[in-house]
Amino acid sequence: MFCLQSSAGILLLAAVPALGQGVQGGMSVRNPWHGFEAGSWVILQEKKTLNGKVSVTKFKDVIAKYDGDVPILARTPEVNGQFGDPGKTHGSRPGGLPAESQIVARRQETVTIGDRKVPCAVVEYTVENTAKDFKAKLVFWSNDEQKIPYREIPSSAGNPPALLGDVIRAEYAYHYQGASVKYTIEVVDLAKAVRIGDRDLTCVQECIVFEEKAKDKSFSGKGFRWLSAAVPGHEVRFLLEGVSNGAKVEVERVVSTLSAPSGRNECRIPSHR
């Protein structure tokens, strides 16, 4: 999972407080690559446009190995049409989850997805440390009949909050020593068709609206991502349009090829005929 700022070559916030690392919903390993065999990979093409200047890159992400239950990834850029041996490996900490003690409100609401009315349990969390000028608010809209692929709120603020499979909407607001972020993530389609090569995937489509500010830097805009539990990393396609420090930014990233052998969770991609 990529943060929006990394996609645009921008990082506004770093070394800031993180949400809790507790386990909720029986999910102890919160990583969109978990469950795929070592050796599984995706090839992604990314097109970035900054004030009209376009760059296109292609890279291969592969699960090099597992450290216990944690997948260790390696990224290899395409050079002269070829991908070399996997380079430096990296792991990632699990997405943050707030503690039960940080709940400040509960309620019931109905969310509309297309022509469907989805009843949701809404839980609101607040974390605050006035001495450090820090405050975070996180709200989840959840429906336990949904099984959305694991993903995270792609924020650069602290540890990106985890979005478990029953979450169909989330709002995240974060303030720390003059820097702030606001994110709204919502599912807009539960069965959107996306083609990868000669294969059709049925994906969950999400809309992401965001705003980040830090000192003399700012980044805001809107994006969409398409998710599938059959694809290593879960992200099939990603689009973003925004403004970074007054410059127009566009990012398009899509999986062009993948290999996901059956294994830990028997992930297979159905071929289109």
Tell me the pLDDT of the chain (273 aa) as tens digits. 455 545 544 444 444 455 554 444 445 678 999 999 999 999 999 999 998 899 999 999 999 999 999 999 999 999 988 998 887 888 877 888 888 989 999 999 999 999 999 999 999 999 999 999 999 999 999 999 999 999 999 886 667 899 999 999 999 998 988 899 999 999 999 999 999 888 899 999 999 999 999 888 999 999 999 999 999 999 999 999 999 999 999 999 999 988 987 544 333 333 222
Distance CA 98, CA 171 (A): 13
Tokens coding 96: 């943050």
**DSSP per-residue letters across 9-35:** T-----S-----B---TT-----TTTT
Tell me what pLDDT residue 95 has.
86
Boundaries of every domain in the chain: 4-259
Tell me what pLDDT residue 27 has.
55
Tell me what pLDDT residue 89 has.
87
Tokens coding 255: 């999986």
DSSP state at residue 102 = G
